[in-house]
Amino acid sequence: MGKDKIAKKNQKLINLIKHLHGLVENDDIEKQRQSQEQMGMIFGTARDTQYREVDISGMAGEWVSMERAHLKKYVILHCHGGGYATGSSTYARNLTSKLADVANMDVLCFDYRLAPEYPYPAALEDGVKAWNYLLSQGYDAENIVITGDSAGGNLALALTLTLMEEKRCLPAGLVLLSPWTDMTASGESYQTKAALDPILDMEYMDIIVSAYAGDCDLQNPLISPVFGKFEGFPPTYIQVGENEILLSDSMELARVMEEAQVLVKLDVFEGMWHVFQMTPLKTAKDAMNRVAEFVYEVLGV
């Protein structure tokens, strides 16, 4: 296939993604949350997969497990995306179902409190609560991998930085899918990829930054993890799409981690967009298989 045909095919795909994303966008944040719940129930629920509600000290969560023999010693703690203002464990099923399948282990996703009703540090506090819950269930920290997409990637980083600050045991590794790491939006991709990104734009980013961070210092590493100190941080695998405004967030995070001698791997997927792993595309399947390889590697499975 020639380059022109590939370009046209990619543009059609991007237009389709824009249309599908528009189905859950709504100026009324509560309606947007409800639309995401419905999308997660319809398109995220997978065959041969069990979904179990769990109460985590008053916070709702969901266990996702394969209905087959699978690894019980290890677990994935998933932080869902949604700009800290939307999203839930139900909406996250597009990812948690895939994670449970490719890694062949249980996944716990938790419904942290959302902005603007609950701004920073509510979500981070809930992340710590979810971590403590797993330890209370008998999981060793070295047998846990934390994953997160978009704002969930931000939360996964902030959670691990908090554990480091408190000199607590750390997870075996992190997997970050299109992580939001810099709320100051200092990376060049916020401009260079603006016309290509079918999901995110600066108007939306400004709204959710204000809702979550308010008047807080945006260079606080627990708000913008890219400004953190990563010496001693667990191995980290980052996936990002070539055509998203958060591309710089991933690239700068990888650079900072490398300087801190963290074992970090960054994969940039050509022609892809924000959290493309949620789609049924072959590229998404290949990406999830790479996630499983990393998970097995850091867990020593």
Active-site residue set: 150, 244
CA within 13 Å, CB half, 117:
7
Do the strands 236-241 and 71-79 form a parallel or antiparallel pair, or are they unpaired? Answer: unpaired
Cα–Cα distance for residue pair 1/101, rounded to 1 Å:
33
What does the block give as tokens for 23?
């189905």
Q: Would you state the structure tokens that stand for residue 292, as one six-digit string?
A: 């499983």
The H-or-E segment that residue 90 falls in is none
The DSSP letter of residue 177 is E
From the CB of residue 290, how many other CB atoms can be counted at a distance below 10 Å? 17
Q: What is the DSSP string of 42-65?
A: III--TTEEEEEEEETTEEEEEEE
CA distance 96 to 116: 25
